[in-house]
Amino acid sequence: MPSAFKKKPPSPTNAVVVTYPKKNLATQSYVPEIVKGLAVSMRHFFTNTKEMVLGQRPDPTTERYSAGVSTISYPEQKRPYPERFRGVHRLTTRDDGSVRCVACLCCSTACPAQCIFIEAGEYPEGDKRRGYERFPVKFVIDELRCIFCGYCVEACPCDAIRMDTGMHAVPYDSRDQFVYAKDQLLAFTATDGTKKTANPRHEPGDATHPGLSRDHVHH
Ligand code: SF4
Ligand code: SF4
């Protein structure tokens, strides 16, 4: 079939002339190139050995980025993550160690991957939180479906869910192992090893609690 467009002749300005290498004994035998390669390897070997003996070896996790040194012995060596790195989630706790989450479902509603499942429950009779807030009977996150967008953390009004563990999801061998339940999420700590949040928590009944007193609702 005739082409609708005329074929352009090659542009002389773009053409690169590659000369065929002249074959002689040196190129055919590869010996000079092998010697050159060995020389490079030996240069690195002696430089590295000297630096190791003299204790001058740079820390590959924090130095020599610009020199292109990109190999580290992971996981024994790890590059420091940025402060705002989003890792595996954790649930934060109150001063008494109970879960801080009030099961409002804001996080699971905001989650675009729909990977958070929460079953809310009421605090028992006599608990000062009953009637003010609920708690998660079940709190489950499927870390395999999570896209680590951080919307859940942003949506939470209680600073009850965070992604500051500094951890990757571990490479498990079955899908159900990526589904973290409440106890696991509560057990994780922040990168500094603490479980607390930075924000104060105003408990129902405290003078600082901003909610209405339920004593007045029937007046
Ligand atoms: S980080 Fe994003 S995708 Fe993952 S659980 Fe939170 S809201 Fe859902
Ligand atoms: S983690 Fe926060 S947003 Fe999610 S249900 Fe609990 S209190 Fe609500």
Answer whether 132 contacts ligand 1 (Cβ < 6 A).
Answer: no
Query: Taking the mean position of all CA atoms in its chain, how far away is CA 28?
Result: 51
DSSP structure class, residue 79: P
Taken in order 135, 140, 143, 148, is the CA torsion positive or negative?
negative
Closest CA to 123 of 133, 114, 111, 113: 133
DSSP structure class, residue 216: G
From the CA of 199, which ligand is nearest?
A: 2
pTM of the model: 0.71
DSSP structure class, residue 99: B
Distance 117 CA to ligand 1 centre (A): 11
Query: pLDDT tens digits, the chain, 219 residues: what are they?
Result: 566 777 777 676 777 888 887 888 988 899 999 999 999 999 999 998 998 899 887 777 777 767 666 677 788 888 788 888 999 999 999 888 899 999 999 999 999 999 999 999 999 999 989 988 999 999 999 999 999 999 999 999 999 999 999 988 778 889 999 999 999 999 999 988 988 787 878 888 788 877 766 665 544
In 2-106, DSSP assigns E strands to 90-91
CA distance 130 to 22: 89
Closest CA to 181 of 107, 90, 114: 90
Phi, psi (deg, nearest 5) at residue 180: -90, 130
Closest CA to 196 of 174, 169, 164: 164
Answer whether 158 contacts ligand 2 (Cβ < 6 A).
Answer: yes
What would you report as the CA-atom Rg of the chain, rounded to the nearest whole angstrom? 31
Q: What residue ranges define each of the domains in the chain, with the CATH number in brackets? A: 20-80 (no CATH), 81-199 (3.30.70.3270)
CA distance 207 to 99: 21
Alpha carbon nearest to ligand 1 atom 8, residue: 111
201 with 156: CB under 8 angstroms?
Answer: no
Alpha carbon nearest to ligand 1 atom 2, residue: 149
Q: Counting runs of H as helices and runs of E as strands, what totals does the chain give? A: 5, 5
